[in-house]
Structure formats: structure tokens, C-alpha cells
Amino acid sequence: SKRDTVRILIDELRPIKARYRVPDVVTEEPQCEHFNDIHIITLDIFRIFWKIFTHFDIFLRANNYNKKYKYLNRLCVSSGPSSIGADLCLHGFRNVYGLPEHSDNLQLRDTRDGEPYRLYNLDVFAYDLHSRLGLYGSVPLLVAHKADRTLGVFWLNASETFVNVQYSPTDQQVSLVQKVHPQTDVRWMSESGVIDCTVLLGPNPQQLFRQFAQLTGFQALPPLFALGYHQSRWNYDDEADVEAVDAGFDRHDVPYDVIWLDIEHTDGKRYFTWDPVCFPEPSRLQRRLEEKKRKLVVISDPHIKVDPDWSLYCEARDGGHFVKDREGQIYRGTCWPGDSSYLDFSSPETRSWYSRCFSLDKYKGSTSSLFVWNDMNEPSVFNGPEQTMSKDAVHSGGWEHRDLHNLYGFYQHMATAEGLITRSGGSQRPFVLSRSFFAGSQRFGAIWTGDNVASWEHLKISVPMLLSLSLAGIAFCGADVGGFFQDPEPELLVRWYQAAALQPFFRGHSAKMMKRREPWLFGDQVTAAIRTAIQQRYCLLPYWYTLFHQAHTAGLPPLRPLWVEFPREQNTFTVDHQYMIGGALLVCPVTEPGVREVKVLLPRSGEVNEPAGNTFYYETVVDFGVSSVQVPVFQRGGSVICRSVGRFSCTADLQQLPISITVALNSQGVAAGELYLDDFHSFRYRDTDQRGTFDCDTVVQSVTVLGVKIKPSAVTVHVSGSEDSSAAFQFIETGCMLTLSSLKLRVTTDWEIRIS
């Protein structure tokens, strides 16, 4: 197409039954030119071969893969042969990534000696590590990278899918052969649907991100509060408990923005209701939080309690909004409320009805400061095969569940976000967290990595899991701080807060059978360390918000593997214990106990150690000392970072606090950066021209320049329309650091700082 993509779409000419084509994921049909270089090998196998910057081979097959489905529910028989597959040969590539969600390394492993990667959304409690089995969500995007090229393969199919990866030559063969021509063979196998495969041609990572965002949608720009810290538990007991926790954050000087309520807040697990004893005045509770500029999030799962005396159940039943079984009756399964029926979110009418359930007049006890969390939406069915819905359940249009299983949570996420937008009359940005997801879920909000465990191993695996999600367009992602299940030791909890504060979605959450875990319950030293990590997150909010605007407009994920920013440096291709936040900050979380020193790979391009100002102008591995309150964070030479300065109680304080700018010069003495601000909550930013009309009183208070080798004789500030003035400055020769203070320069005004 004109967007540097190649799409292969193949359907049966005369099928026994129409094949399912995934709707609503691709946001705009690309304008394509027809491709004619196809070679038929047999009646059911044909080959496509082309060379556009690189060799590319595809072998396409139909109805040959039924024997591969060892995980299929054998009680569910489909309507005749339906499986499809394709073999792709990526010439010149030895590093491929993507295919979330799996608890595995960033680089995909060779599968010839084990199981393929499985894409099948499931409720997996306390999931195993380094596993290729499917978890809560699926994005069938594979990204291949080498020093001079990045490309992607998007397999648009929502049925159960397996992906085999084989590298040639193998690692053993590489050591034996002097000159090799690497390639990666990828086999896709799906249970049903059509072959709809799009190759994203890059050629660099940033272009590939934009191509995928143009195809499936850009990351939604979140309201600022969503980038703050979220405090959650299954469950806070009652309104008094919520208010006590809220007061505890203020008493211990720990900023936070959102407190969450799990399923116990409802009346008997009936969503859109409140427990009349524990939460008798929910509107008052929300108003109390809103007085402090804080929010409340409540859970809303897709299963509906079978209760003929409950008006919402009757409305859904009578409106035909439930999934049916193969006999045409309402499908029933077991979940938290007991006997439950499941909303058919694949139906536009059901999504519209569900969205209306969030209106203030219908959702009694809700206010405009209430936001939503979609859980159990794989969907989870406790008594179903693999704890999910039977594949022969029937959705709107007569489609079997097998055809669209991986879309179920995507559609609930869509309907919920639309409900919150409609609630505000279309003026306010929503916040919705979903556990299940598919390609395109980034348009609706955030996701998290599900029911993790309080262990060092789960902390460590969370980094490559979030990097994989980020590569696949799911930029607003995070893992539950401290682990959902089991009790973390204090050191683990502190290290998890430090890591999560440097990741997009930042929430502490735990199961109700675990000990309470508010930040002040582990002694003064632990409280101080957690406070420092959260405060540093809030100080960095101007940078995070700017990065999310870049994700929203250019498809660039805030969290990036090193190779995205250093694409020619081969020693970065397999690194997944450290990463970049945007293009400026390199982070290496501490993920092992008792560590006092970590090895950090600093790629070329001049990395500047933020705390000390030490500059590295060559590729190196440094041993970086860490304390209990410190993790390695480096600023890249040539970059500019904006931070807020002062005391936060929540993100609303950002508008009143001054900005501090850190400039890290590269070896040429140059640096560039960006700051994006708006009103942080509405859609009005879409109504302005490219330059915008937003005005604010935010000022720059100080500027620190790293990499200045000679002490200046004078520093002059020039503000448009005013006389030049001298600026007070301090120069630290040993750190090559120049600091200008007491500036008070408005961010909406043009100004210059001249260093003599």
C-alpha cells in the first residue's frame, strides 16, 4: 500500500460456510496496488516471493493444520475443515520479537525443540515463567530486526493461533560456519478465519511503529491522573477503609491519584451496583476524593449474574445481549457471582447498550470522577474448557466463539471506553484498564499483565513482558507492583516500586488473602524508599506525558528496547533487563535480591550518568553501584528532559509546580527535546491547530546542562519583548555541570539562554 505495507488477503471462493473476517481492528482500509507475482505449487500450496529492500518468501496453505491443535476442546466440533496457515521466510534476520502475551524473554526463542507460541486468551492464575502458552491477551504481530532494517508481520486472525519460529543457522551452526546468511522461518497456524497478513516494511523501528498504528490505531492519550500512582486491593472493605487509606497517603506524604475497588464493592457480584452495607453512599465517597483531585476506579466484568429479580439481567436477556449456546439458548457458565451469562460484545447493539449502562442516571451512585476496570474478560468461565468459553458458543451473526475468541476482551474494552466518553457528552478522556486485549486495544486505554506473583522472578520477567507489549502497540501497560499473589519481602516490594515507577502504568495491587500492603506498613526505611520512588515518578510526569503524546500522534511507545534507539548495535538486540524511556533515559531496574552493584550496557552515542554527570562517549559496560533507594537511570547525550519541581499530593499539582530542565550535551555539544502540555483531561487538544492555543502559567525555574567542560564567564537570558538579564549560575567542574537557577521563564513564551 501507499503506507509501505504489503497485505495478503485470501478467502475461499466457495466455502462450505463463510469464513470469519476480523472487523473493527483495522481502523482504515489501506489503499493497495494489486500484486501479481504468485507461483502455484500444488492445489493447496502456493508461493509469493518478492524483493523490496530485502528478500521475502511466503508459502500459504489451507486445511492442513488440524492435527496441530493439541489444545483444542475435542467436544466442540467445527463446521468442517477450517484451519489455515502460512510459512514465512525472513531472509537476513536472526532476531524476532513480539507476539504478546507470554511470560518469556523479549527475543522469541527457536521453537523446533518445544511448543510453539500460542495466542489464545486465557485466565491464568500465577502463571508459569518462560512459557510459550497464551496468557490474557494476544497481539499477532511479529517484529524482525537487523542492523539495517526492521519489518513486521501482522497476522489478523482472532481464533486460536500457534506460531513456530526457527532460526537458521542455529547457534551451534554459527560457530562452525565462517560465512553464513541468516534467515528466520515463521509458521502461522490458525483454527479458522481467512488468511489476512500484512507485512510492515519499516525500514526503521520508528517507521514500523507508525505503520502499525496507522493500521490498528494510535495509543489513546490518557488523562494525566492515569499516569500517576494507583492504589488497589481485592478488596478495600468499606467506605471508611477507603477514606483511611486515602488519608494515610497524605499523612505519610506519599502522592497518589486513584484508589480502586474490586468485586466485593458490589451488591452480590452484580456489576453497576454497590454493597448497601459497606458502600451505602458511594457518591459522597467519590466527592470526598474529588475534593482532593483524586479518582475512584471500580471493576466491571463481562459476566452477568443470572438473577430474574435483577433489572439489568432482565434487560440484557430481553434485549438479546447474551452469547448463546449451540442449541440457541442463553450460554451459562460459572464465575464470581456463581451461575452467570456472558454479554455478546461482538454485537454493536450490545456494545451500545452496555455503554449506556455507564450513564450517570443509570449507574446509580456513580459520578464523573468514577472510572472503570475490565477484568475476567478473556472471557473467564470457571467451569469451561481451559476455564474459558466453549468454542461452539454462538455470537451475533451466527459466528462461533472459536472464530473470534481473542476479540472478546477487546470489544468489552471498546464498549466501556465509549460509555465513559458518552457519559461526559464526548468532552472528557476516559480511563479504562483491561486484562484481555487484542491488536488495537491501545485505542481504548491501558492493560496490565494479570495475576503475577510476589517473587523476584516475576519482577524480572515483567520487564521483557512490557517491552513485548510496547513493540506490539500496547504502549500503556504495567505489572502489579509487589505481585498480586503471595506476600513480598520488604526489599522485593521496594525494588518493584522502583521498577514500576519507571514503567507506563503504575499500580499496586494484591489479593484479599494477602497481607495489607499500603506503603507505610513496612517500617520507616521502606516507607521512605517507596516515597522516593513515587515522588520521582511524579517529578518525571512532564516527560511521561510528552511521550504519551508522541505515542498518540506518531505511534512511538514510551517504553523501548535498546535496539529501537540503537538499531545498528548488535549487542543490544537481545538485551531485555534494561530499556529506554523515550529516546532520552536509559533504565536498568534492580531485579535481584541483595544487589549493591549492577552491570549496565551503555551503547554508543554518549550516555550521561544523571546523578554525577559522568559522560561516556563510547560503547561500554559499567559497574554501577546501587543503594536501597537508587536504581541506574542514565540520560542520553543529545537529549533534554523536563521535570516538575516541588511537592506532589496528586497529578493535579503539576499545573501549579515549576519545571526544571536537564540538558545533556552530546559529543558535538548539541541537545534537543520536547515538552507537550494541554489541560490534561479533555479532548480539546484535538480542536486546535498544529501549534495549539493552550495557555498556562507553568514556568521554568532552573536549567541544568551536563557536559559543559569550561566554566562560563556569563549567562544571559533573553525573553521576547523584554530586556536581557543576567542569570545566576553554578558550575561544578568535576561533573562538567552548569546549573542556572531562579529563572521563572514561562513555557508559553519564546526565550533564549546565552552562555558566554
How is residue 713 written as a grid cell? 564567564
What is the separation, in whole angstroms, between the first and last Cα of the chain? 52
Q: Give whole-number Cα distances, 636 to 116, 236, 541, 589, 664, in Å.
A: 38, 42, 18, 17, 7
Give the three-state DSSP class for 147.
coil
Q: Give whole-number Cα distances, 747 to 278, 655, 693, 721, in Å.
A: 47, 12, 13, 15
How is residue 505 written as a grid cell? 502504568
Which member of 101, 104, 264, 451 is catalytic? 451
Which member of 239, 275, 378, 565 is catalytic? 378
Beta strand pairing call for 659-664 and 639-644: antiparallel
Which member of 301, 375, 518, 678 is catalytic? 375
Q: Which contacts qualify for 119-122: CB closer than 8 Å, 24 or more apart?
A: 119/160, 119/161, 119/162, 119/163, 119/406, 120/71, 120/160, 120/161, 120/386, 120/405, 120/406, 121/378, 121/388, 121/405, 121/406, 121/408, 121/409, 121/436, 121/438, 122/378, 122/386, 122/387, 122/388
Beta-bridged to residue 744, according to DSSP, are: none
HEC string of 349-386 equals: HHHHHHHHCCCCCCCCCCCCCEEEEECCCCCCCCCCHH
Distance, CA of 678 to CA of 684 (rounded, Å) = 9
Active site residue 689: no
How is residue 376 written as a grid cell? 475476567
Identity at 102, one-letter amino acid code:
H
User: Sheet of 715-719: strands edge to edge?
Assistant: 725-726, 715-719, 751-755
Active site residue 752: no
Q: Which residue reads 501549534 in cell numbers? A: 691
Q: Which residue reads 519583548 in cell numbers? A: 721
Active site residue 267: no
Distance, CA of 227 to CA of 488 (rounded, Å) = 24
Catalytic residues: 375, 378, 451
